[in-house]
Every structure is written in structure tokens, then in C-alpha cells.
């Protein structure tokens, strides 16, 4: 009497040999990675990813070679990790028509082992990008004491310095943040604390 249920468990795909997430979701245009785990003893068997509602009629999309080398076909890749007894399937550039029933499978003599995975595709994930700051650098020479040319690169400071110069000579030495604005007058500033002039 107990023999029939035991035999039934042996022929049901995925029974105890392979485990999957059940359902996964990814954004349209994005990607999703599915990890399927298997028991010890299946490391060198070929693993596959198939599509279709029925186990017997699902179409295999990509299959490993039995090694840990990644295999890619179209927008789908598969990679086996023998040490962790896990194989990962990545579906890229998801489309709404990718939403379907899939299977993680292990190829073997007789009936393959497998587990069903439902893949859903949601709306595209939009991210906001911060505005781009455009900085232009003009290299206008400045002179101090009428003898020594000064350029923005010749300013000496051990911390950030902001200097705005409008047609006037300026000299700046600082050991802390300094903001200086000069308008048609010579200026010289030495400071050890934040200063705005």
C-alpha cells in the first residue's frame, strides 16, 4: 500500500531534488535573476530554464553544459555554482510578453527534475536623475604688485576656496574655506576661519 505513494513521489517533477522561488517579478526593460537550489549529488548534471504552462510541453530556453561556465542565449543566461548547489538564471530587457510560467530543471536519464516559477513583469522602473551642474573655467590672468602674474591655479589653500573676480587683482592665502568676491578693487586676504567679503 505504501509503495504507490513512494513511486508517485519519484515521478513528480521537482520532488525534493530542486527548489525555486515560486514567483519572481521584474520591471519592464529591466532584468530579473532567479536562483534555483538543488540537493547534493546533482552538481555535474545539466541545469536548464524552460518556458510553458505544462511541465511536459515546456520549451527549454537555455541549458548549462554540466560545468560552472555561464551560458547565454538571446536575453537569458544561466550559471551553475556547484559549491552552493545553486544555479542562477537572468532574464534581461524584460518585456510584458515575458510574463509566464517557467521551469528550473535538471536534466537526467528518464524524467527530468524541475520546479515551477511564475515570472511577472511590472511597469518600467523610472529613476530621477539629479540635474547636471555645468562648470566652465576661464583662464584669465590676474596680476598683483604689477610684477607677478596670478592664475586661479596659483591660489594657495589647504581647504576649498571659492573666488569670484571681476577685473581686479587679488591674492588669497587660506587654511580654511574662504569665499571672496572682489569688484574693481585690489584685495588681499589671509584667514584661518571661514570668511566672506
**pLDDT bucket at 124, cuts 50 / 70 / 90:** confident
- Whether 151 has a pLDDT exceeding 80, the answer reads no
Which comes out higher in pLDDT, residue 136 or 80? 80
- Whether 17 has a pLDDT exceeding 80, the answer reads yes
CA distance 192 to 197: 14
pLDDT given for residue 164 in this prediction? 42
CA distance 122 to 115: 23
Query: Nearest Cα to 102, choosing from 57, 51, 62?
Result: 51
Is residue 103 within 8 Å of residue 35, measured between CB atoms?
Answer: no
- Whether 50 has a pLDDT exceeding 50, the answer reads yes
pLDDT given for residue 55 in this prediction? 85
Which comes out higher in pLDDT, residue 11 or 48? 48
CA distance 148 to 87: 69
The grid coordinates listed for 16 are 525534493
Q: How many other CB atoms are there within 10 angstroms of residue 187's CB atom? A: 17
pLDDT tens profile 19-30: 999 999 999 999
Q: Kind of pairing, strands 86-91 and 76-81?
A: antiparallel
Mean pLDDT of 154-176: 43
CA distance 184 to 166: 7
CA distance 170 to 185: 8
Residues 12-122: name the CATH superfamily. Immunoglobulins (2.60.40.10)
Domain with CATH 2.60.40.10 in the chain: 12-122
CA distance 106 to 14: 9
Mean pLDDT of the chain: 73
**pLDDT bucket at 139, cuts 50 / 70 / 90:** low
- Whether 163 has a pLDDT exceeding 70, the answer reads no
pLDDT given for residue 22 in this prediction? 94
Amino acid at each position: 500500500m505504501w509503495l504507490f505513494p513512494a513511486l508517485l513521489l519519484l515521478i513528480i517533477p521537482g520532488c525534493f531534488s530542486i527548489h525555486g522561488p515560486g514567483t519572481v517579478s521584474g520591471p519592464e526593460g529591466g532584468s530579473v535573476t532567479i536562483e534555483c537550489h538543488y540537493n547534493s549529488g546533482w552538481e555535474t548534471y545539466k541545469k536548464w530554464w524552460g518556458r510553458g504552462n505544462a511541465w511536459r510541453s515546456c520549451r527549454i530556453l537555455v541549458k548549462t553544459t554540466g560545468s560552472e561556465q555561464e551560458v547565454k542565449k538571446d536575453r537569458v543566461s544561466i550559471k551553475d555554482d556547484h559549491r552552493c548547489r545553486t544555479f542562477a538564471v537572468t532574464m534581461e530587457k524584460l518585456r510584458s510578453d515575458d510574463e509566464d510560467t517557467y521551469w528550473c530543471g535538471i536534466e537526467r536519464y528518464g524524467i527530468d527534475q524541475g520546479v515551477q516559477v511564475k515570472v511577472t513583469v511590472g511597469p518600467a522602473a523610472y529613476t530621477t536623475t539629479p540635474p547636471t551642474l555645468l562648470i566652465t573655467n576661464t583662464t584669465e590672468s590676474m596680476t598683483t604688485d604689477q610684477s607677478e602674474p596670478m592664475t586661479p591655479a596659483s591660489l594657495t589653500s589647504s581647504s576649498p576656496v571659492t573666488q569670484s573676480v571681476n577685473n581686479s587683482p587679488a591674492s588669497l592665502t587660506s587654511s580654511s574655506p574662504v569665499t571672496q568676491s572682489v569688484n574693481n578693487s585690489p584685495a588681499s586676504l589671509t584667514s584661518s576661519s571661514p570668511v566672506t567679503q
